[in-house]
Every structure is written in C-alpha cells, then in structure tokens.
Amino acid sequence: MITGPKYKIARRLGPSVFDKTQTQKFAMRSSSKEIKKIKRAGSDFGVQLIEKQRVRFTYGLGEKQFKNLVEKIQSKKGTDINESLVQALETRLDNTVYRLGFASTRQAARQMVNHGHIDVNGKRNTIPSFQVSIGDIISIRENSKKKALFKDIDDKLKEQKIPSWLAFNKEKKEAKVQGLPKIPANELSFDVSQIFQYYSR
C-alpha cells in the first residue's frame, strides 16, 4: 500500500498510525492541538473518515481491502462487530509477526512475510493478510534465522512485550496462538464504532 509522506499523514490522523511518528522528534514537529482542532471543526462524516483512515494506515490496508473486511464482519449475525474487527486486524499474519517482535514495524513485518521468512504450522506462508487461528504455530523459517535480517533478533526480543493471546518460545523463535485478542477500547488509538458508521451512511 502506498501511503505517501508519513509525517504529513500523521499530522492529519495522529502519531499512532506509524511507528516512526511515535517519537519525540515528531511531537516537536506536530501539535496535538492541531489534530484536535481538525476533529472539532469537522462534521460527523469528517470524524468518521479520520477514524477509518487511522485504522487503514495503522494496519497498512488498502481502501478496497479494508471496506471488504468491514462488510464481511457486518454481515455476521450475533457478533460484537467492534470486537470482531479488532480481532480480524490483530490476527493478520503480518500484524502477528510485528506483535512477536520479529519486525520493528508492521510494514517490515509485511515484507518479511512476503519474502517467505515466516512459517505457519511448519509451512512457508507469504500472505500478509492470512488470518491466524487458535492453535496455529508461527515461526521464523529455519533457513532464514541465519540471515542478516535476524542477526540481532535475540536482543530485540528481550524488550518485546508479547500479547497474552500468543504463547512465545524465545529459544525456538516460535509462538502458538492460544486465544483471541482482547483489547480494551481505551487502549486503542482509534474509535472502532465510527468506522462502521462511516460505511453504513
């Protein structure tokens, strides 16, 4: 997905959309007051659009891809659509690789999967949007462990906070999906309900 200048996008949508903009350097170049001003001045549609764009850029999804995902979740009966959307985004293979600390950004994780460095249940998987399920084993491909890409992986993993829905074995560099992501609304950097309102208009 082509995103354009990240600093410009983050000034409009908020610093949380990219890892590189969650820094003091960005905070000095951008004002949170400016972002709040945009939200206050906008219509309901404007606020919904901003929230939708935040999610898209955070997880690196194209407009059509994201719309299809939202519509698929909306069509399910008897489910909490807000929770289902977060779970669908978090259990993407590229995001799972990012959460495990194999890559420092979601974009890098997406490239890592594309280039065939990640196995799911012992088989190479090159589909970033692949949805991992409970019981799946995600690991770095054995031949890839020797590559420069993973040279400092042990040091990186020491500081990585692994989410509770993943059981991680640092020695084997593999994780088992042991549940579904449960992320409280106050820990999200976007308002999920606004997204469904945007697509329901």
59-89: pLDDT as tens digits? 999 999 999 999 999 998 888 999 999 999 9
Identify whether the C-beta of residue 166 lies closer than 8 Å to the C-beta of residue 101. no
Q: Which class is domain 92-177?
A: alpha beta
Average pLDDT in the 26-41 region? 49
Average pLDDT in the 26-55 region? 67
Q: Using CA atoms, how far apart are residues 13 and 7, in angstroms rounded to an integer?
A: 10
152-191: pLDDT as tens digits? 999 989 989 999 999 999 989 999 999 999 887 788 888 9
Domain extent listing, the chain: 6-79+190-200, 92-177
Identify whether the C-beta of residue 109 lies closer than 8 Å to the C-beta of residue 98. yes
Q: Using CA atoms, how far apart are residues 15 and 32, in angstroms rounded to an integer?
A: 9
147-159: pLDDT as tens digits? 999 999 999 899 8
**pTM reported for the whole predicted model:** 0.80
Q: Using CA atoms, how far apart are residues 144 and 52, in angstroms rounded to an integer?
A: 35
Whether the pLDDT of residue 34 is over 70: the answer is: no
For residue 87, count other CB atoms closer than 10 A to its CB: 18
Average pLDDT in the 123-134 region? 98
Q: Using CA atoms, how far apart are residues 174 and 12, in angstroms rounded to an integer?
A: 37
List, in sequence order, every residue forming a beta bridge with 131; answer none if it has no partner.
Answer: 92
CA atoms within 13 A on the CB side of 145: 12
